[in-house]
Structure 1
């Protein structure tokens, strides 16, 4: 009985049901299957973007700061470094407001960094699946994931801002680059298929699902399915945040009995309740502040969330490195 259960979970990060719903995130396919007219109606009339921005994307950034502040195992005796980075980011954000009166330049940097961060996170989760199922070339997996999703994200902003229309030659060249960008994903999928084993089923599903989502976004850009593109962009942001919450939830389940005693370990013992209350608090506070009638409250909201975004990207690059034995052990790889 025990060996059968272990075999069933082989290759999965948590379990088939959990992974499919919250890490592989198969639900996004429902968005892709919507007719264009239906997608347009949903995009214009629904409140999906509201829930995605305030109660999924924003809390998933702030929860990284909670994790770093409450879990000494993540800081690993580098508390001073983490504090210094937080102060530097605060000075940069505050300085931008004081010197140029806005965050336009920082928002451009944030978009590019966010695009890279999306790809890096997908690459990290793919590596977890590889380490659990055996096989896989680390360099190819990480860098293919780090390049294709950011390319699609940057291609998106270039298209929506009309930059490609300003230079038809560049626009034609980008049309060719679109196909070249698909070479890496196709190579990686082919490699997995050639060496495929049953234990690699979760890895293959994750790989196909992520690439299908970005390929769908790229197709919408190329063929002008703008209503679908809006829905896919919302789904893409939710996909990224949900899988991040899922990985932290998995980490919290291990930290209940592993690692040093800390505030986070106490939270981990009641993680479902802790995470729900945190998401609700951040979502409500963000909604109230951004929709405030006071300009100062709106500026504080924008500044603190931009700061939190930079901290989220920076800290994530430090606290989830699978090359660290303790991180790999706690994540079960």
Structure 2
């Protein structure tokens, strides 16, 4: 989900204020705010031989990979959306496929594209977290000063982007560069504190759903940054996996919420998406299972080809999210938890 989850980021026109939750307290806390990262963090306190590792397998194959592929359904499975700008969607796909093929054939490797993937993915993470925070914001009735959204946008994205980049610097072999960039850690940690103070000064703009999500995200990435700073690498890498889990889980949850809302407004105009929504639990469960098993099998039988395919899908995921969630079409929130 990219910069703008704002396709649904609007006030409800009804007189009754919307629920502060998207699905309800329990589901929001579990699959969007993802507070399960806290007990996961405690895993690092166990002796290395006692640490449960299978969750990494499930996260990589059955969550992270499928959450990227499902974006293709939002584009090509939604007839109304695709027909609105077909050449734009097809051109993006063609450029990405051609670019990846050119690099693969020209160099025999995808190393440079994996660097681009990390940077683009870091921005994608930061943008998605901010976008979901704004979705929650629009479910609170309070009025905020006009300058607040822009400040929150760049402060939140900047902090999250820095924290994600710092994960990569933890593996640098040059201690001088690592030492220099680490001097920014403590000043950057002032950003979530400042955002917290800002929200405490305007409590009417944040319902319980927004508070739970904001605190979970900020605590996770603050703890991650502190772990990197002190080179507690076991904790840092555990929280890195936790952040990837949160990102994919919340994306699938938002896709679920937004797809139901879109079908409720447009009906059969959206094409296959309308059919999928009728049996969403079965469709999503089957999708995760099949793609997870396919990914596991391809990793063992054709790893190079599977990597190239996933780089293509990842870039399409980032690019399409930047298009479909930035739509300025006026919408009505229908999910009140």
Q: Does TM, normalized by the shorter one, top 0.5?
A: yes
User: Which among 255, 267, 284 is matched to residue 262 of structure 2?
Assistant: 255
User: Which among 153, 170, 174 is matched to residue 142 of structure 1?
Assistant: 153
Q: Taking structure 1 as reference, are residues 330 and 79 closer, same or farther at Cα in structure 2, changes over 3 Å only?
A: farther
3-state SS of 1:12 partner: coil
Measured against aligned partners, the alpha-carbon deviations of 1:52-110 in whole angstroms (never above 9, x if no partner) come to 11110000000001221101343361111101100100001111110000100000000
Larger helix proportion of the pair: 1
For the residues of structure 2 that align with 1:253 and 1:274, how far apart are their CA atoms?
13
Task: Compute the RMSD of aligned alpha carbons.
Answer: 2.2
Q: Taking structure 1 as reference, are residues 42 and 318 closer, same or farther at Cα in structure 2, changes over 3 Å only?
A: farther
For the residues of structure 1 that align with 2:258 and 2:105, how far apart are their CA atoms?
39
User: Which among 46, 65, 71 is matched to residue 78 of structure 2?
Assistant: 71
Give the TM-score of the pair, scaled to structure 2.
Answer: 0.87
Q: Taking structure 1 as reference, are residues 42 and 223 closer, same or farther at Cα in structure 2, changes over 3 Å only?
A: farther
Gaps of 5+ in 2: 1-15
Measured against aligned partners, the alpha-carbon deviations of 1:241-294 in whole angstroms (never above 9, x if no partner) come to 0000000111222234321411101101111111111111111111111111xx
Q: Taking structure 1 as reference, are residues 175 and 230 closer, same or farther at Cα in structure 2, changes over 3 Å only?
A: closer
For the residues of structure 1 that align with 2:116 and 2:206, how far apart are their CA atoms?
39
Correspondence 1:203 to 2:210: yes
- Kindly state the Cα deviation for residue 207 of structure 1 after the two structures are TM-superposed: 1.1
Residue aligning to 2:322: 317
For the residues of structure 2 that align with 1:186 and 1:199, how far apart are their CA atoms?
16
User: How many residue pairs align between the two structures?
Assistant: 316
Residue aligning to 2:226: 219
Bigger Cα displacement from structure 2, 246-255 vs 283-292? 246-255
Contact 1:24/1:243, CA 8 A, preserved across alignment: yes
Report which structure shows greater RCO (CA 8 Å, sep ≥6). Answer: 2
Correspondence 1:287 to 2:292: no
3-state SS of 2:156 partner: helix
Contact 2:160/2:221, CA 8 A, preserved across alignment: yes
For the residues of structure 2 that align with 1:26 and 1:256, how far apart are their CA atoms?
30
- Kindly state the Cα deviation for residue 303 of structure 1 after the two structures are TM-superposed: 0.7
For the residues of structure 2 that align with 1:41 and 1:245, how far apart are their CA atoms?
32
For the residues of structure 2 that align with 1:61 and 1:127, how far apart are their CA atoms?
22
Contact 1:127/1:141, CA 8 A, preserved across alignment: no
Give the TM-score of the pair, scaled to structure 1.
Answer: 0.88
3-state SS of 2:157 partner: helix
Contact 2:44/2:238, CA 8 A, preserved across alignment: no
Gaps of 5+ in 1: 1-5
